[in-house]
Chains A and B, each alone.
Chain A
């Protein structure tokens, strides 16, 4: 019989190995899934993981997409990871992402058609504030009334989506857009554009911000008392209070930071790859970032790698739909498996497997 035995100390080796094992297990289970759908599993896996980067025909288009997609995922996941580490569950990053984009775009468009160089920085600030303010709603409801932040933040996503639909056909609609919903194109307006910084790389200001956030968070968590308090609160809330941590303050900080980073991601997206506020602007980055955060073990460097990997499965998945005619649901299932296997393998870092007879101890 197989049984699990708790390790005295969590295994660092297993903690590092589980994401890799989870990816391998996903490839195997996904391959079986694709085979069951009548597709060549090896071709499908190759198309998802290899072709976006190295296929001679598609790579030129899809390689820059890697950073374009990974940038917002990493930026949002980094913010979420701070709260998750402290046991504060912001599930509504998607809403904060949308509100950041709306606030940032609105702040810029108020000055249209000015070409001042101050407009883009102003938009960045407004985007961060928009996401921050949206996250402050669950934060304040939790600290003042004990409302569950998971539910409140999640419900606010749907509110944000309705706000998005409303402003894209009302307040922010392009006056020269012949009545179609959607704002002016921010990428084509010099003052607000978030261009590709190095041609062919996909690198834009949002990706730069994501890299800065990774470094900043790494330093915060390993070198700063606030990072220590975040980790301590997640590990043991009572010990944290004993160590003088103010739980309400920590909730405000963690939700605020994650909201601001999600808002920034939304702003960089709307001024860059997306180009305008439109009804279908919300693309699910805020939800996928939750997977990225856990896939990266809530560690900044892990999240960087996980964001790139998740972006790869997005692009590869689209490619597989195109080349093999795989249904998009199969691709989503494939991505979901990744989180499933990761959580399942997590057991190995805290437990070791013993073969032998069961026993009540």
Chain B
């Protein structure tokens, strides 16, 4: 195969951290090449250098054998490099064609553009109507807008940053078909991910980064997922495990929970009913924006509902606020770490106080017991292996994984009877994610009822006893996780409930 892109000894240092240290690898034309690594391994910095967003300190790149030094994304695009970002930059109020025109150097007239969009979407099996308003599209469809915007420029190298994190399994399959087709036509794809199974099914080659350096280059199809994970993390990973247990009494009973959205962009919850037993983990899957935040706030007490719709061991608690629920051992850890679960500019001691004041007895008649709060913060830091100089550090100074360990640890150590977590390992490296999942399972083993809301299906399959999916504010009826296939999960996430599943099986 002909060499398309060669990267030689790229180095990029930021104050206090070397993001890339002498990184070298090659991508052949038509190759699907994975960049694999944990958060902070340097994947993003590397592709930003290739896309001209960041200038390397030293090292060189060659594209088609010629020196390639993009000073800005425009010159990278001119050379045939396109990138689909993890976070979309689309205008909700404009239609698909207008959004695509905005991202082009010299857009053709609208009628021609619409036709070209239809052509590209037919050719590559990416269904998309150019006249639809972006605000009405699902996350998967929005991603197609971004991909088609790139494809209209006939790229030689397409960079994709964590493209599947917002997709249902079916949408992932559609995307992979497109990528395989592109690759067959000679377009190389640089695919960033930390999802190992995806990489094994899609990619021809993988470059594995750890701590800013290339630690291995391999053929991912010739390795097991565990071997890839070990190369990525640099040590052996023990998957979370739990002792078998009997089903306990019903702890949480949600019946007919309906909650109008508090903001115009939120999702209303519609007639949600489920039960969670002592010692059980209920996994709630779904694509982002289908009511996850709203469900968490209805359970944490940030949003009030009719008293009887939420019951704890039979007692109606729908009208209780967050602190009243903490008193009866109902605890929660929201998805957004900075600004919701923790105050960014406050110290870890203050953040320990944020939810721990009541159950840890950190106040006496309204006065704060700072030594006790610091002690609690130190306890979380040591028991959950939070890497930080000390409890005086501001929350925003911690890496995502460390802050997440702190946030989860803070709730776990308060001995909840019911714990609700949203995206417990989002943006967290593999080792920290394994530690967090193990902590949740250990808590369940001690009899706590746990609700895990997550968009990571692998995570839910690993730790849930039962599974339900949120779709447009509705929850499918929970089913045992064991024996549930990916296809069924995908249908549940897409909103097809029991009836439709039966139909599809037939």
List residues of chain A with CB under 8 Å of any chain B CB: 5, 8-10, 223-226, 228, 231-232, 235-236, 238-244, 246, 359-361
Contacts and interface: CB of A to CB of B under 8 A. Distances in A.
Nearest to B350: A228
Contact of B368 (A10, A223, A242): A223
A238 B55 contact: no
Nearest to A238: B340
B394 A246 contact: no
B366 A226 contact: yes
Contact of B300 (A232, A240, A242): A242
A236 to B, nearest CB: 4
Nearest to B394: A9
Nearest to A359: B55
Contacts of B326: 244
A360 to B, nearest CB: 5
B9 interface: no
B302 A236 contact: no
A147 B143 CA distance: 39
Interface in B260-306: 300-302
B334 interface: yes
Nearest to A5: B15
B86 to A, nearest CB: 16
B305 to A, nearest CB: 16
A279 B150 CA distance: 70
B340 A239 contact: yes
Given A228-B368, A360-B54, A244 B340 contact: no
Given A246-B321, A361-B54, A238 B339 contact: yes
Contacts of A223: 367-368, 370
Given A232-B346, A242-B355, A243-B355, A224 B340 contact: no
Contact of B346 (A8, A226, A235, A246): A235
Contacts of B344: 235-236
B425 to A, nearest CB: 20
A176 B343 CA distance: 60
A237 to B, nearest CB: 9
Interface in B347-370: 350, 353-355, 357, 363, 366-368, 370
B345 interface: yes
Given A10-B394, A361-B14, 8 more contacts: A223-B370, A225-B367, A235-B346, A236-B343, A236-B346, A240-B343, A242-B332, A360-B72
Nearest to A357: B55
Contacts of B334: 242
B396 interface: yes
A274 to B, nearest CB: 37
A298 to B, nearest CB: 13
B102 interface: no
A225 B366 contact: yes
Interface in B397-452: 397
Contacts of B332: 242
A359 B14 CA distance: 11
Nearest to A352: B15
Nearest to B324: A244
17 contacts: A8-B396, A9-B394, A223-B367, A224-B366, A225-B363, A225-B367, A232-B350, A235-B345, A236-B340, A236-B343, A236-B344, A240-B343, A242-B341, A243-B322, A244-B322, A244-B323, A361-B54
| A-B interface, 9 closest residue pairs, ranked by CB to CB distance from nearest | A244-B323, A8-B397, A236-B343, A244-B322, A9-B394, A235-B343, A239-B343, A243-B354, A238-B340
A9 B323 contact: no
Nearest to B16: A8
Contacts of B355: 242-243
A11 to B, nearest CB: 11
A10 B354 contact: no
Which among B324, B341, B342, B366 has the greatest number of chain A C-beta atoms within 10 A? B366
A260 B227 CA distance: 68
A238 B336 contact: yes
| Chain B interface size, under 10 / 10 to 19 / 20 to 34 / 35 or more | 35 or more
B53 A360 contact: yes
Nearest to A243: B354
A242 B322 contact: yes
Nearest to A219: B367
Contacts of B393: 9
Given A9-B393, A359-B55, A360-B54, A239 B341 contact: yes
Given A8-B397, A10-B394, A242 B340 contact: yes
A1 B336 CA distance: 35
A215 to B, nearest CB: 15
B144 to A, nearest CB: 27
B13 to A, nearest CB: 12
A96 B326 CA distance: 39
A10 B397 CA distance: 10
Nearest to A235: B343
B366 A244 contact: no
A241 B354 CA distance: 10
Contacts of B15: 5
A280 B292 CA distance: 58
A224 B342 contact: no
A297 to B, nearest CB: 14
Contacts of A5: 15
Contacts of A231: 346
A244 B355 CA distance: 8
Interface string B6-27: 0000000011000000000000
A244 B321 contact: yes
Contacts of A246: 321
Contacts of A243: 322-323, 354-355, 357
Contacts of B363: 225
Contacts of B322: 241-244
B343 A9 contact: no
A184 B106 CA distance: 79
B300 A359 contact: no
B176 to A, nearest CB: 31
Nearest to A227: B368
A10 B342 CA distance: 16
Which among A232, A236, A239, A241 has the greatest number of chain B C-beta atoms within 10 A? A239
A235 B351 CA distance: 12
Contacts of B53: 360-361
Interface string B313-335: 00000000111101000001010
A225 B54 contact: no
A70 B351 CA distance: 36
Nearest to B398: A8
A250 to B, nearest CB: 13
B357 A232 contact: no
Given A225-B367, A226-B366, A232-B346, A9 B341 contact: no
Nearest to B364: A225
A241 B322 CA distance: 8
B54 A224 contact: no
Contacts of A228: 350, 353, 368
Nearest to A10: B345
Contacts of B336: 238
Nearest to B321: A244
Contacts of A9: 393-394, 396-397
